[in-house]
C-alpha cells in the first residue's frame, strides 16, 4: 500500500544541530574577543559599559548565526580596523602612537585611516546605486529598454553636468554636491544599455557590502584617533553630524542588505541606496565646506555613556524609516506602471507590490522599536544631564512627533488592515518628518540640543 506524500513527516533537526563548524568557530571567536576586552580593559570601563558589552556580544553572536554574511562583514571590519590602529602604533604595543603616520604610512594614507576609510565609504555607495539601477534599463525578456535609458541618460546627465558647472564656477555655491544624485542615474542608465543579465545588481550588492565595511572601519579607527589627539578627548564616534551620517549610511545599507538577503530580491537596491547616496552627498558637503571631519573635544553635555547607546539605537530607527520611504516611492511607481502600461518597465522590472509592502512594514516595525528604545534612553540621559526626563525642547518635541507618526502607521496597519498606496504615501511623508526632526531642528530651531547645529 502506498503512503501519500503529504502523510510522510520528516523530523527536522534542532536549531543548534543546523549550525555548521564555521558557526561554532564564530561563537568561539566572539566569546574570545569579549573575554579579551574584559581582561585587558575591564579596569577602564564602568559597570554600565560592562553590562552593555555583555548584552551586545550575545546579540552579535546570534546575528552572525541568523544572518551568516554578517560573520564575514564583522571579520573584515575587525581586520581592517586592527590594520589601521596598529599602523598608527608602528606595529608595536610599546609604541604610544603617532597621528603623523597618517601622512607616511601606506595603509593609513590610502586605505584605513578614519578619514580615508570614510572617503572610500563615500565612493562605494555611488557605485552600488548605479549598479543596482542598471538592470532596470537592461535588455530583458526580448524587450530592449533603449529609449527609456537614453532619455534618462540625457536628462539626468544634463542636469548633473549643469549642477557641477554652476557650483564649481561659484554661481551657486554648494550645488555641485547635489550633482552625484543625477549622475548616478546617468551611470545606471548607461550600464543598463550594455547589460544582458543581472550581473550589475550583484556588483551593486558587493559594493554596498564594501561601503559598509569601510564606513564602520572608518568609525572604529577614528575612535582610536580621538585618543591619539589627546587621551582626555577619547570618545565613541557618535557625537556629531559627521560621525552620525557615517553611521546612518552604514546602518541603512546593512538593514537593506539583510532584507535583500531574506527576500532574494535586488530590484529594491537602486531606490534604497539612493537615500544612502543622498546622505553621502551631505557628508561630502559637510567635510569640504565645514571641515566637519576634524576631531575636537566633546562638549560637556555629550560626555556621557548614555550617548553610546542612545545614538546608535536612534539610527536604526532612522535607517528603517528611510528604507520604508524609498520603497514607498518604488511601490507608487510600480502601481502606476501596472495601471498605465502593464507591459512597461515600471510594471515588470520593479519588485512585486507584495514584496515591497511586506519589507516596508518590517523595516518600519523594526525602526519603530529601536526609535522607542532610543527615546526612552534619551529621557534617561536628559534626567542625568538636565535634571528632568522631558522638557519640551524642540528636538524632543519633534522626536515625539516622529514616534506618534509611525505609531499611527503601525496602528492603522494592524487594526484597519491598511495596505498599498496610502501607506506608501504615508511612509514617504514620514521621512520628511523624520528628516526635519534629525536635521531641520538643528538648522531652524534652538534649544538644549543646539550643540548639534550645522
- Mean pLDDT of the region 154-160: 96
Using a cut of 0.85, tell me whether the model's pTM lies above it.
yes
Would you say 267 and 201 are in contact if contact means Cβ atoms under 8 Å apart? yes
- The domain locations on the chain are 20-66
Q: No. of H helices and E strands in the chain?
A: 16, 0
Would you say 411 and 365 are in contact if contact means Cβ atoms under 8 Å apart? no
Query: Each residue of 393-416: pLDDT tens digit?
Result: 888 899 999 999 999 999 999 998
Q: Strand pairing partners for 143?
A: 140
Q: What is the mean pLDDT of the chain?
A: 91
Q: What is the pLDDT of residue 1?
A: 47
Q: Which of 207, 185, 308 has its CA nearest to residue 256?
A: 207
The least confident of 136-145, 176-185, 250-259 is: 136-145
Sequence-distant (≥ 6) Cβ neighbours of residue 32 within 8 angstroms: none
- Mean pLDDT of the region 192-198: 89
- Pairwise CA distance, residues 355 & 364, whole Å: 14
The least confident of 228-242, 380-394, 436-450 is: 436-450
Look at residue 4 and tell me whether its pLDDT is greater than 60: no
Query: Each residue of 168-181: pLDDT tens digit?
Result: 999 998 999 999 99
Q: What angle do CA 183, 334, 69 make, to 5 degrees?
A: 70
Q: What is the pLDDT of residue 271?
A: 96
- Pairwise CA distance, residues 161 & 177, whole Å: 11
Look at residue 62 and tell me whether its pLDDT is greater than 60: yes
Look at residue 451 and tell me whether its pLDDT is greater than 60: no
Task: Count Cβ atoms within 10 A of the Cβ of residue 243 and give its class: 0-12 exposed, 13-18 middle, 19 or more buried.
Answer: buried
Sequence-distant (≥ 6) Cβ neighbours of residue 24 within 8 angstroms: none
Query: Each residue of 214-242: pLDDT tens digit?
Result: 999 999 999 999 999 999 999 999 988 99
C-alpha cell at 240: 556629531
Look at residue 246 and tell me whether its pLDDT is greater than 70: yes
Q: Which of 263, 265, 131 has its CA nearest to residue 201?
A: 131
Q: What is the pLDDT of residue 139?
A: 80
Q: What angle do CA 36, 38, 42 make, to 5 degrees?
A: 135
Would you say 381 and 372 are in contact if contact means Cβ atoms under 8 Å apart? no
- Mean pLDDT of the region 340-358: 91
Amino acid at each position: 500500500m502506498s503512503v501519500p506524500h503529504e502523510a510522510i513527516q520528516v523530523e527536522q533537526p534542532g536549531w543548534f544541530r543546523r549550525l555548521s563548524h564555521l558557526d561554532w568557530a564564530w561563537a568561539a571567536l566572539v566569546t574570545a574577543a569579549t573575554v579579551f576586552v574584559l581582561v585587558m580593559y575591564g579596569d577602564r570601563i564602568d559597570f554600565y559599559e560592562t553590562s552593555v558589552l555583555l548584552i551586545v556580544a550575545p546579540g552579535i553572536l546570534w546575528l552572525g548565526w541568523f544572518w551568516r554574511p554578517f560573520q564575514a562583514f564583522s571579520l573584515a571590519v575587525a581586520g581592517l580596523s586592527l590594520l589601521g590602529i596598529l599602523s598608527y602604533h608602528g606595529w608595536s604595543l610599546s609604541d604610544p602612537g603617532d597621528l603623523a603616520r597618517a601622512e607616511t604610512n601606506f595603509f593609513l594614507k590610502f586605505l584605513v585611516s578614519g578619514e580615508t576609510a570614510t572617503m572610500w565609504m563615500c565612493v562605494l555607495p555611488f557605485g552600488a546605486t548605479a549598479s543596482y539601477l542598471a538592470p532596470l534599463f537592461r535588455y530583458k525578456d526580448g524587450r530592449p529598454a533603449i529609449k527609456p535609458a537614453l532619455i534618462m541618460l540625457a536628462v539626468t546627465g544634463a542636469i548633473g553636468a549643469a549642477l557641477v558647472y554652476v557650483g564649481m564656477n561659484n554661481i551657486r555655491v554648494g550645488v555641485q554636491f547635489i550633482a552625484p544624485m543625477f549622475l548616478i542615474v546617468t551611470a545606471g542608465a548607461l550600464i543598463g544599455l550594455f547589460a544582458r543579465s543581472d550581473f550589475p545588481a550583484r556588483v551593486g550588492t558587493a559594493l554596498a557590502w564594501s561601503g559598509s565595511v569601510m564606513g564602520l572601519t572608518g568609525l572604529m579607527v577614528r575612535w582610536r584617533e580621538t585618543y591619539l589627539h589627546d587621551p582626555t578627548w577619547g570618545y565613541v564616534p557618535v557625537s556629531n553630524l559627521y560621525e552620525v551620517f557615517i553611521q546612518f549610511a552604514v546602518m541603512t545599507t546593512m538593514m537593506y542588505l539583510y532584507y535583500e538577503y531574506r527576500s532574494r530580491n535586488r530590484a529594491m537596491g537602486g531606490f534604497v541606496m539612493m537615500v544612502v547616496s543622498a546622505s553621502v552627498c551631505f557628508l561630502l558637503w559637510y567635510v569640504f565646506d565645514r571641515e566637519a571631519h576634524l576631531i575636537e573635544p566633546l562638549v560637556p553635555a555629550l560626555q556621557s555613556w548614555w550617548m553610546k547607546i542612545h545614538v546608535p539605537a536612534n539610527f536604526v530607527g532612522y535607517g528603517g524609516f528611510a528604507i520604508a520611504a524609498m520603497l514607498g516611492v518604488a511601490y507608487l511607481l510600480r502601481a502606476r506602471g501596472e495601471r498605465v502600461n502593464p507591459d512597461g518597465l515600471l510594471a515588470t522590472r520593479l519588485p512585486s507590490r507584495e514584496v515591497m509592502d511586506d519589507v516596508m512594514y518590517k523595516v518600519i516595525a523594526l525602526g519603530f522599536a529601536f526609535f522607542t528604545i532610543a527615546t526612552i534612553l534619551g529621557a534617561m540621559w536628559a534626567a542625568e544631564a538636565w535634571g528632568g526626563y522631558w522638557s519640551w525642547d524642540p528636538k524632543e518635541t519633534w522626536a515625539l512627533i516622529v514616534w506618534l507618526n509611525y505609531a499611527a502607521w503601525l496602528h492603522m496597519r494592524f487594526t484597519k488592515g491598511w495596505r498599498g498606496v496610502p501607506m506608501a504615501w504615508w511612509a514617504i511623508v514620514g521621512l520628511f518628518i523624520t528628516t526635519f526632526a534629525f536635521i531641520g531642528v538643528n538648522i531652524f530651531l534652538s534649544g538644549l540640543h543646539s550643540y548639534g547645529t550645522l
